[in-house]
C-alpha cells in the first residue's frame, strides 16, 4: 500500500481497487530459462550456447530480481514451466520462499495450439505436479504462447485454475463468459520481449535502449492509470535481468508506487475481480 497525496485521494474516490488506489499493476516474470529455447526449436536442446541465454535467468537474474523486489517491497508473479522447475528447483523455491506467486507456464514451453487435448491435459498436470512439489500454490495459467487451443479453457476449469493471463483484449481483468475463470489481460506493449528480445537466428531485429523502452512504457502506464485500469508488466529474467534493464525495471516499479498503483500478484488481482467485478473503466471528467 502506498500513501496518497490529497489530490490523488479525491481523484480516486470512485476507485474499483482496494484502499482507493487509483489503478492496479502486476509485475510478472515469465521464467522461461532453457525451455523457451527448446520449445522454439527442439535442436536447441543440444546447443549449450543457445541454452546459456536461458540459464542466465536462474543463475544471475532471479537472485538480482528477488533482491530488487524485496528492496521495493513488491510481490510479483513468476510463470514457470514445469520442466524449468525440475531443472532449477532451488531457484523456484527461492521465489516461493520470498513470498511471490508462482504460476503455470506449461510443462514444456509448447503452445497449446500444437497439442492434442490429451497432450494439453498431460502438460497441465505435469506442470502442476512439478511446481507444487516445490511448495507453490498454483492458481494461475499463462500459456507459453499467450494462445489457447479450443480445449484450453475447459481444461483449465477442469484442473481447478482460478485465472488465466493470456488475452490482450482489455486493460481491466474480467470473468470469462461460459467458464469459471478470471482473465487478467496482457499486452505486447508492456512486454519486454518485443523491445529487447534477441535471438541469434533473426539479426533483423535490433535491441532497443532502456531509454526508448521507457518512452513507450511510461505513457502507456500513465494512460492505463488515467482509466483506472490494470497494468500488466510482462518480463523475462533472461531479458530484464540484465543489469541495465533491471535498473530500468526498478525505476518502473518506483513510478508505479509514486503514482499510487495497487501493486499485487496476478492471483490477488484475479481474486479481487472475482469478489468485486465486473469492472468498468473510469471515463469522463
Q: Which of these ranges, 31-39, 44-52, 54-62, 145-153, lies near Zn ion under the rule CB under 5 A?
A: 31-39
Interface with Zn ion (CB under 5 A), residue from 22, 26, 32, 34: 32
Q: Which of these ranges, 29-37, 158-166, 189-197, 256-264, lies near Zn ion under the rule CB under 5 A?
A: 29-37
| Strand ranges inside the chain, DSSP E | 23-30, 77-80, 101-104, 140-141, 163-164, 174-175, 182-183, 230-235, 261-263
Secondary structure class of 2 (helix, strand, coil): coil
Closest residue to bound Zn ion by CB: 30
Query: H-helix or E-strand containing 253?
Result: helix 243-258
Choice between 183 and 191, CB closer to Zn ion:
191
Q: Does 123 bind Zn ion (CB under 5 A)?
A: no
Q: Which of these ranges, 28-36, 168-176, 206-214, 275-283, lies near Zn ion under the rule CB under 5 A?
A: 28-36
Secondary structure class of 274 (helix, strand, coil): helix
Minimum Å gap between C-beta 39 and Zn ion is 8
Cα 253 from Cα 248, distance rounded (Å): 9
Minimum Å gap between C-beta 80 and Zn ion is 9
Q: Which of these ranges, 32-40, 93-101, 116-124, 203-211, lies near Zn ion under the rule CB under 5 A?
A: 32-40
Q: Does 30 bind Zn ion (CB under 5 A)?
A: yes
Q: Which of these ranges, 129-137, 141-149, 176-184, 219-227, lies near Zn ion under the rule CB under 5 A?
A: 141-149
Cis amide prior to 278 (ω within 30 degrees):
yes
Residue pair 94/62 in contact by the 8 Å Cβ criterion: yes
Q: Does 35 bind Zn ion (CB under 5 A)?
A: no
Minimum Å gap between C-beta 109 and Zn ion is 6
Residue pair 189/169 in contact by the 8 Å Cβ criterion: no
Tell me what percent of the chain is helix, strand and coil, each rounded to the nearest 5. Answer: 50, 10, 40
Q: Does 34 bind Zn ion (CB under 5 A)?
A: no
DSSP assignment, residue 191?
Answer: B
Choice between 225 and 238, CB closer to Zn ion:
238
Minimum Å gap between C-beta 92 and Zn ion is 15
Choice between 108 and 259, CB closer to Zn ion:
108
For the four alpha carbons of 187, 173, 6 and 252, in that order, the dihedral sign comes to negative
- Residue 166: CB atoms within 10 A of its CB come to 20
> Which residues ranging from 144 to 183 are in contact with Zn ion (CB under 5 A)?
144
Question: If we measure between CA atoms, which residue out of 85, 31, 21, 16 comes closest to residue 61?
Answer: 31
How many chain residues are in contact with Zn ion, going by CB under 5 A? 4
Residues forming contacts to Zn ion in the complex (CB under 5 A) are 30, 32, 36, 144
Amino acid at each position: 500500500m502506498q500513501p496518497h497525496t490529497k489530490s490523488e485521494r479525491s481523484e480516486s474516490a470512485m476507485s474499483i481497487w482496494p484502499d482507493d488506489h487509483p489503478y492496479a499493476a502486476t509485475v510478472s516474470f515469465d521464467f522461461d530459462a532453457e525451455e523457451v529455447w527448446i520449445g522454439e526449436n527442439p535442436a536447441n536442446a543440444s546447443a549449450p550456447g543457445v541454452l546459456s541465454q536461458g540459464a542466465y535467468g536462474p543463475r544471475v537474474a532471479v537472485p538480482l530480481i528477488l533482491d530488487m523486489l524485496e528492496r521495493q517491497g513488491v510481490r510479483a508473479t513468476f510463470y514457470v514451466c514445469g520442466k524449468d522447475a525440475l531443472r532449477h528447483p532451488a531457484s523456484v523455491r527461492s521465489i516461493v520462499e520470498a513470498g511471490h506467486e508462482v504460476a503455470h507456464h506449461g510443462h514444456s514451453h509448447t503452445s497449446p495450439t500444437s497439442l492434442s487435448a490429451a497432450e494439453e491435459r498431460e502438460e497441465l498436470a505435469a506442470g502442476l505436479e512439478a511446481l507444487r512439489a516445490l511448495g507453490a500454490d498454483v492458481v494461475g495459467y499463462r500459456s507459453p504462447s499467450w494462445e489457447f487451443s479450443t480445449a484450453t479453457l475447459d481444461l483449465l476449469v477442469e484442473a481447478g485454475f482460478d485465472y488465466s493471463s493470456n488475452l490482450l483484449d482489455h486493460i481491466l481483468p474480467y470473468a470469462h463468459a461460459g467458464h469459471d475463470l478470471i482473465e487478467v489481460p496482457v499486452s505486447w506493449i508492456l512486454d519486454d520481449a518485443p523491445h529487447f528480445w534477441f535471438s541469434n537466428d533473426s539479426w533483423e531485429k535490433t535491441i532497443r535502449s532502456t531509454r526508448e523502452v521507457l518512452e513507450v512504457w511510461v505513457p502507456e502506464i500513465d494512460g492505463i492509470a488515467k482509466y483506472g485500469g490494470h497494468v500488466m508488466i510482462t518480463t523475462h529474467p533472461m531479458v530484464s535481468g540484465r543489469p541495465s534493464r533491471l535498473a530500468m525495471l526498478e525505476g518502473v516499479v518506483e513510478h508505479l508506487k509514486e503514482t499510487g498503483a495497487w501493486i499485487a500478484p496476478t492471483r490477488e488481482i484475479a481474486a479481487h475481480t472475482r469478489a468485486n467485478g465486473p469492472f468498468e473503466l473510469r471515463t469522463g471528467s
